[in-house]
Structure 1
Amino acid sequence: MAEAGPFHFRTEVRVRLPETDAMGIVFHGNFFTYLEVGRVDYLRNLGLSEGVRPIKDFENVVAAAHIDFRSPARLDDPLTIDVRISEIGGASFTFAFEIRHRKENRVVAQGYTTHVAIDDEFKPMPVPDEFRRVIAKFEGWDR
């Protein structure tokens, strides 16, 4: 199931000093932390928080991560992180992200992370139907 469309979830972060580099902008590696903040907040919002394991015997690991940098973010900049699940496959699913400067509404970065569903033995498994249902309802795929 692949779906392109609007983002239905947003969270916010503010750039902190240790996230910046010698040029005074966010060090590129720290954007992966912002993606994780967005992903965890998205799942928490849906009652699927990674730390709680609401779906028995289901975890996921990041298999791929990609970011395109569009414009710089600096110390104390307020950033919004828009998040959606853009695709669910047999044993994987993909989060899409867009990070914007909240006040200037300019795109700072866009990216995705692809996750593989795993069981308690760290072996790939099908994405659970319950997870699919919750995501489809939230993202509007069931309409």
Structure 2
Amino acid sequence: MNQPFEFLFRVRYSECDPQGVVFNARYGDYVDLALTEYMRAAMGGYNELVHMGFETQVVRLLTEWKTPARFDDVLKASVYPSHFGNTSFTLIFEFINAGTNVLVATAQATYVLVDAKEFTKQTIPAEIKSALQEGAVGKQINQAG
């Protein structure tokens, strides 16, 4: 298996709940951050997709939590392309505590490619499919500081 794309980031204080752990809803934000950086690594950024006349819309997001993350932890999000259909694609996200190497959470997100103006489903062009499947393999973006 090829090395996945990796995105490292630090948990901020405002992302934690009164229990002192990352609030569950923040993982949707983390998936979105990881997707944005994945797109940057794979095809130059989300704006490149928009420039081509497309956008993505989330149609399914499934998250499973394994252990809490806390303020100032560095999380490593590994992104794996999973499934590509005619108009949709699915990515798998693994969030690992970079300090302890413990799995924090997993997520599976399905996106539909849509026209950037009308927001109607579009067939995924071969060059976009190829970029999303292979363009970010083995790359890492580190925003953990």
Q: 1:28-49 CA distances to partner (integer Å, 9 max, x unpaired)?
A: 0001111111111111011241
- Alignment coverage as a number of residue pairs: 136
Structure 1 stretches lacking a partner, 5+ long: none
- Identical residues among aligned pairs (%): 29
Structure 1 residues 1-143: aligned runs within 5 Å: 7-53=3-49, 56-119=52-115, 120-138=117-135
Q: 1:54-81 CA distances to partner (integer Å, 9 max, x unpaired)?
A: 6622211111111000000011111100
Secondary structure at the aligned position of 1:27 is classed as coil
Higher RCO by CA contacts (8 Å cutoff, separation 6 or greater): 2
Aligned partner of 2:118: which letter? E
| Change in CA separation of 1:101 and 1:137 when aligned onto 2, cut-off 3 Å | closer
Aligned partner of 1:128: which letter? P
Task: Report the counterpart of residue 143 of structure 2 in structure 1.
Answer: none
Cα distance in 2 for partners of 1:13, 1:23 equals 21
Aligned partner of 2:88: which letter? S
Give yes or no for contact 2:39–2:132 (8 Å, CA) kept in 1.
no
User: TM-score, structure 2 length as denominator?
Assistant: 0.86
> How far apart are residue 138 of structure 1 and its match?
3.7
Cα distance in 2 for partners of 1:139, 1:102 equals 20
User: TM-score, structure 1 length as denominator?
Assistant: 0.87
| Change in CA separation of 1:82 and 1:35 when aligned onto 2, cut-off 3 Å | same
Cα distance in 1 for partners of 2:3, 2:58 equals 21
Give yes or no for contact 1:83–1:97 (8 Å, CA) kept in 2.
yes
Cα distance in 1 for partners of 2:76, 2:63 equals 15
CA-atom RMSD in angstroms = 1.8
